[in-house]
Structure 1
Amino acid sequence: MFLHCSSILFLLCFALQSFYLANSQSFIGVNYGQVADNLPPPSATAKLLQSTIIEKVRLYGADPAIIIALANTGISIVIGTTNGDIPALASDPNFAVQWVNSNVLAYYPASKIILITVGNEVMTSGDQNLMGQLLPAMQNIQNAINGASLGGKIKVSTVHAMSVLAQSEPPSSGSFNSSFGDTMRSLLQFLQANGSPFMINPYPFFAYQSDPRAETLAFCLFQPNAGRVDSGTGINYMNMFDAQVDAVRSALNAMGFKDIEIVVAETGWPYKGDANEVGPSVDNARAYNGNLINHLKSMVGTPLMPGKSVDTYLFALYDEDLKPGAGSERSFGLFNPNLSMTYDVGLLKSNQTPATPAPITPETPVSPSTPAIPLTPVTPATPVIPTTPVTPPAGVYGIAISCKQQHSRLLILVIMVAFTLFGLPVRGDDILL
């Protein structure tokens, strides 16, 4: 059976787009904290990031040296205002304009700033004054962005702890804390009006600490387990990450904001901790981060958001040795100050297979006696807009292709064979590397 040429070209274009998507990790980012005295220079970090599949970096501030080092690397940057900046941003629109001029316009577009986070976990800080100032601060930053003709190009949001939810078990019952009153609705209306994401910090690590059983650990690490059935939907959740993210999705849906995108601003697992801490270890950290990366790369999504990976920023690029608190707070780093890997989770372009992958098992019935796991742990004290893949342009008799060097020869061979089989001429200048 012979296919019409246009049908062949359509199929080839579809295959090329699928190829691009399969090799693009635009949804994988990393948090770059700086509460440390032993970090490598930003220029060295920029080179390190370019050797990985990480395509986004989230900063907690707007460090000029880092922003400049990331210029012209193609790496997307999330910058943030501090909680201490919020009162001035809320009360003085000129301060917001100055902040945007100094921290965005001074570097954009060479430095690919895509999002500004106003504060961090403000809604669960307990500071009522700060909570009331959050939305005005976000609005003034947004107005400054619009005034610079960057509205839609650079988004404005804020980051929330999982405890922003009053209920999350089962995921379908996810809801926001009613004590926020109209503040949360107004924040969501702002996000919806500006096409900005809802940013959340889910940490299965803390869920395991609150329920340290073997089956809980497997559920949190994406390892073989019986799953947890959502009594509201009948969905059998196979990992804590999906359950936590879908609880947020349910909370947004319940408020009538089904079109707001979710971004995971932080998630990770410490590789060591204090003697009395449950869960930190190299094996557990490798399993969580490695299996999470594989889960994201599979594009399977979550049960309530299938077929699309949520933008996820891993915590963290380096250890931060000056952070207070438990030992685990200083042990989330994926890389050491000397730029070597703390452990291998397949982030390097030269080796994208985790050292010890743990397969995700197919869904199986869960015993009714299996107790629920709390999904709203306290996150550590410390989004983003998906890159639209470019579909290669196609003509009637040729295709222009741009692909990664390590796959280019194989891809070219496949296309040349396909064109030859169907009697289509192939010119040397039709294939661009």
Structure 2
Amino acid sequence: LMACLERKHCIIKAIVEVEIEAICLELLEITARLYIHQSYKWNVSFHLICLSNQWGLLLSSPVHAFTGTYGVNYGRIADNIPKPGNVALLLKANKIKNVRIYDADPEVLTAFKGSGIEIIVGLGNQYLKDISVSEDRAMDWVKENVQAFLPGTSIKGIAVGNEVLGSTDQELWEALLPAVKNVYNALDRLDLTKTVEVSSPHSEAVFQDSYPPSSYDAAYIALEKAGFGKMEVIISETGWASKGDANEVGATVNNAKTYNKNLRKLLAKKKGTPYKPKIAIRAYIFAMFNENLKPGPTSERNFGLFKADGSTAYDIGFDGLEPSSAVSSLLSLKV
């Protein structure tokens, strides 16, 4: 596990621990999830499930936003990737059942209808301040972006905001928890809390010391010492770039292939860690496609398991679209 999850060149950020602890304590009251992830380079991340007494009452039939052990992050900061309908077929052909998107695009949610793929949708930072002060606005958002697509599209979670606690916007920090509560209350009023979870993605800035990122079991031990022994750690983003700038020497096709192939094998074993052997390791892979419009260094545009035309970026056992299928309504898989 240590070898599989190891990466280099972390950007270490600092944050006052009491801030995240206070927020998590309150989130415990509404059975929310906290996604802990880092957005740069090799993208190892953690997903903390806050298990409250309320959650404990649902242990026989809890909300699960993750089936199996393997998922992907489906980003769309690109103008040349396949249409959502073809993406849904591509995921099904490769038996990938879990997807996280970064918005609630109706085209994507409509295309995934009836696919059986379980989706986490995103509520962007630009909505937080409005939703934090109004349950009615939260209700409108949930009705329009979640309820309207159920049950045909399997929406299993809402990620409220993105990397809020890693930003310098104090007003956004203060809006996060009220927004999460209002979204949860909207789901509750619509009787959807047993099927749709509430979450909030954060960068590794919430950790006082995030190195080494391969210290998976150390995260469990730290959580126990902080009083959150029932939290589960899930890797919500992990990946390796296949191309980078001159100073990103580790971003190569061979390294990306080795990392993601070994990771896929590890997850397929459905085994736990030495400290938590009965809890299978689960992860979302970053990312589905190379995204040509992403800002930043070259590596940011080359994390994809698949190229823009839908073909595989390298061979780790997946089937890709034929290049002509990326702009077609039909799926053609490589043999």
Q: TM-score, length-normalised on structure 1? A: 0.57
Q: CA deviation at 1:348?
A: 4.6
| Equivalent residue runs for 1:391-406 within 5 Å | none
Percent of aligned pairs with the same residue?
A: 42
Structure 2 CA distance for partners of 1:326 and 1:168, relative to 1, 3 Å: closer
Structure 2 residue runs of 5 or longer lacking an equivalent are 1-65, 321-335
When residues 340 and 298 of structure 1 are mapped into structure 2, their CA distance, relative to the original with a 3 A threshold, is: same
1:302: Cα distance to partner? 2.0
Note the C-alpha offset of 1:262.
2.5
Higher relative contact order (CA 8 A, sep 6+): 2
Equivalent position of 1:66 in the other structure: 108
Pick one of 331, 338, 347 that aligns with 2:309. 338
Structure 1 SS opposite 2:180:
helix
For 1:354, the equivalent position in structure 2 comes to: none
The whole-number CA distance in structure 2 between the counterparts of 1:62 and 1:168 is: 30
How far did 1:338 drift?
Answer: 2.0
Report the Cα offset of residue 75 of structure 1. 0.5
Question: Helix, strand or coil for the counterpart of 1:166?
Answer: coil
Q: Which string of whole-angstrom CA distances, capped at 9 and with x for unpartnered residues, describes residues 25-71 of structure 1?
A: 72211111111111111111111111113111100000111111111
Q: In structure 2, what is the Cα distance between the partners aligned to 1:323 and 1:97?
A: 31
Q: Identify the residue that residue 414 of structure 1 maps to in structure 2.
A: none
Secondary structure class of the residue paired with 1:79 = strand
Normalising by structure 2, what TM-score?
Answer: 0.72
Q: After the TM superposition, which segments of 4 or more aligned residues of structure 1 sit over 3 Å from their partners?
A: none
Paired residues in the alignment total 255
Out of 252-261 and 50-59, give the one that drifted further.
252-261
Instruction: Tell me the equivalent position of 2:193.
Output: 151
- 5+ residue gaps, structure 1, are 1-23, 170-206, 208-239, 350-433
Q: Residues 111 and 280 of structure 1: is their aligned pair in 2 closer, same or farther, counting only changes over 3 Å?
A: same
Q: Corresponding residue for 2:209?
A: 167
Indicate if the aligned counterparts of 2:158 and 2:197 stay in contact, CA closer than 8 A: yes
Give the aligned residue type for 1:291: N
Other-structure match for 1:192: none
How much does 1:331 deviate?
0.3
Any conservation in 1 of the 2:67–2:98 contact (CA below 8 Å)? no
Which amino acid letter does the alignment assign opposite residue 79 of structure 1? V
Structure 1 Cα separation of the partners of residues 194 and 319 of structure 2: 31
> What corresponds to 2:175 in structure 1?
133
CA contact (8 A) 1:269 1:289 kept: yes
2: distance between equivalents of 1:121 and 1:156? 15
The 3 A distance-change label for structure 1 pair 167 and 116 is same
Give RMSD over aligned pairs: 1.8
Distance change (3 Å), C-alpha of 1:269 and 1:317: same
CA separation in 1, counterparts of 2:154 and 2:72? Answer: 15
1:149-204 superposed Cα distances (whole Å, 9 cap, x missing partner): 011211001112223110356xxxxxxxxxxxxxxxxxxxxxxxxxxxxxxxxxxx
Is 1:284 aligned with 2:326? Answer: no
Structure 2 match to 1:94: 136
1:112 to 142, 154, 162: 154
Cα deviation digits, residues 97-117 of structure 1 (max 9, x gap): 000000001101110000110
1:315 aligns with 2:286: yes
Kindly indicate whether residue 304 of structure 2 is the aligned counterpart of residue 262 of structure 1. Answer: no
